[in-house]
Amino acid sequence: MWRAASKQVIRTVGSCLPDLSPLAKQLHASPGSKKIVGVFYKANEYAAKNPNFLGCAERSLGIREWLESQGHQYIVTDDKEGPNSELEKHIPDLHVLITTPFHPAYVTAERIKKAKNLQLLLTAGIGSDHIDLKAAADTGLTVAEVTGSNVVSVAEDELMRILILVRNFVPGYQQVINGEWNVAAIAYRAYDLEGKTVGTVGAGRIGKLLLQRLKPFNCNLLYHDRLKIDPALEKEIGAKFEEDLDVMLPKCDIIVINTPLTEKTRGLFDKERISKLKKGVLIVNNARGAIMDTQAVVDACSSGHIAGYSGDVWNPQPAPKDHPWRYMPNHAMTPHISGTTIDGQLRYAAGVKDMLDKYFKGEDFPQQNYIVKEGKLASQYL
């Protein structure tokens, strides 16, 4: 039986290339051994419970043997924060950094400046906002992610959260584990999903999948995005495009956040915008925690203006023990889990391996995977 690694950091021995100046950074690998660092969450005793649990530090995406057989160093850690962290020790001479949205290594402009050998930043999953993308672009780095790898996982999770909130499920569950039985305390605010107006802020890959999954529930479906959905698909789903976000939001009984975190969307849902939402609105956010004003959400949940808030994204991550969302009423929050199902892990592990292979061979990645390429940011981050 595979045995979980007991040490926090797993190392191999290999050589490193000399420092490269920022102007000399290449899109693809130069010859020689590479130092690759992966930052993933630790699974501890759970690592051995499923051989396909590839997204944890102990399993390291399942690429260790492959990388080492080609003479590369592969260092894996979960210790990512602060000047004395294990990651910080390797910043000056690593060539590739792999991290995930579920346990993000925050790649600041300061870290990029220290990383003289760094050429490639890979996100095992979707969402690269943990990286200072402008600094990466200015330095000539390549940033890529495994586009599409966990869109099904997240869309399914969003649908689950909608139903949990609409049916007032959490208080019922808590009654059972506390030995209680009070139907009225649950039923007075439990509803059917049918007939409700659901609006998604963002209708990219995840947003479209969510709308498709909501169609059988006979909801009134709205969406706001930079781009309209293909007319044939829009007609098939029965969703209506709303060009003005602030016109759409007050119509919604349920709002789902499906937009990336950018400078434009950071703090998008502040106190003023939340105050204009329908009283008793339900919100699901599996996008990014920083899209919401943290205290504004707490206040609205406490007053009942937001009747239920659910999601798996926090600001920062991991969420500290005193994060106010842990203790606000009417929430159904979890750690960041929606996109790291076992099926999702298999897809993004395979995607990372494919991109590394292309990097070593000097080949281009699938175009949709690029977040920063040749100094330019992908359109969703502009």
| CA 137 – CA 134 distance, rounded (Å) | 5
Closest CA to 338 of 274, 281, 256: 256
Question: And the tokens for 168?
Answer: 């007032």
220 counts as catalytic: no
Contact 171, 185 (CB under 8 A): yes
Whose tokens are 């023990």? That residue is 321
Q: How far apart are CA 208 and CA 202, in angstroms?
A: 9
Q: Is 288 annotated in the active site? A: yes
DSSP 48: G
Mark the binding-site residues for substrate, compressed into ranges.
126, 150
* 150 a catalytic residue: yes
Contact 101, 126 (CB under 8 A): yes
SS3 361: helix
The residue type at 161: R
Cβ–Cβ under 8 Å, residues 382 and 145: no
Catalytic annotation, pick one of 73, 117, 150, 168:
150
Q: Residues in the chain, how many?
A: 382
Per annotation, catalytic residue among 103, 336, 345, 347? 336
**Is 174 an annotated catalytic residue?**
no
The CA distance from 121 to 187, in Å, is 49
- Is 379:367 a contact under the CB 8 Å cutoff? no
Which residues carry a binding-site annotation for NAD(+)?
205-206, 225, 260-264, 286, 312, 336-339
Question: Each residue of 19-42: b (16+ CB within 10 Å) or e?
Answer: ebeeeebebebeeebbbbbbbbbb
Instruction: State phi, psi for 345 to the nearest 5 degrees.
Output: -60, -45
- By annotation, the residues acting in catalysis are 150, 288, 317, 336
